[in-house]
Amino acid sequence: MLAHEAKVFLSFKGKDTSHNFTDNLYAALYRKGIHTFRIDDLRGEDIAPGLLYAIEKSRLVLVILSHNYARSNWCLDELVRIMECREEMGKIVFPVFYHVDPSHVRNQKGSYGEAFAYHERNGFGHQTQRWRAALREVGILSGWHVHD
């Protein structure tokens, strides 16, 4: 799937969701004829520019917030850009709270609080303010809660 063809961009932590929820969601969207972009579609490309382009060109971004999403500085940087696109371009962002409480995302509690303690211990303290702001913003959006 080329980034310029995608209607939906999936942001997710592969370790948590890629072999179950995200794969099923991607397949369901595909069956409905909805062109969907996910990170797997960028294998072999320069990932940063390709990701930014895909986010900007997609009509809708589904952010699948899972237990380990905030552990990934890559996911958090991606989320910052997604929320910037929401503000600057009116991008539609729909969060999916996959086995996480939205208040934990919004307030960085539980696994999200643990992730930030990890980032601060490992030299990412200078970036945490932007990451926290993006999580607060996505955490207040209406979304879908999955507790299957």
- Domains, in order of start, for the chain: 3-146 (3.40.50.10140)
Evaluate if residue 122 carries a pLDDT over 70: yes
C-beta separation of 138 from 89 below 8 A = no
100-117 pLDDT, tens digit per residue, is 999 999 999 999 999 999
What are the structure tokens assigned to 114, written together?
Answer: 């643990």
Mean pLDDT, all residues of the chain: 88
Please provide the DSSP assignment of 84-134 as one string: HHHHHH--EEEEEEESS-HHHHHHT-THHHHHHHHHHHTT-HHHHHHHHHH
Q: Model confidence over 72-103: pLDDT tens digits?
A: 988 999 999 999 999 999 999 999 999 999 99
CB atoms within 10 A of CB 24: 11
User: What global pTM score does this model have?
Assistant: 0.88
Instruction: State the pairing for strand pair 60-65/8-12.
Output: parallel
Reference 70, options 27, 28, 104, 32; nearest CA is 104
* Res 147: pLDDT: 83
- Cα separation of 91 and 62, whole Å? 11
Q: pLDDT category, 1, cuts 50, 70, 90?
A: very low
pLDDT of 26 higher than 70 = yes
Active site residues: 78
Q: Which residue has the tokens 């960085």?
A: 108
User: What residue type is 145 in one-letter code?
Assistant: H
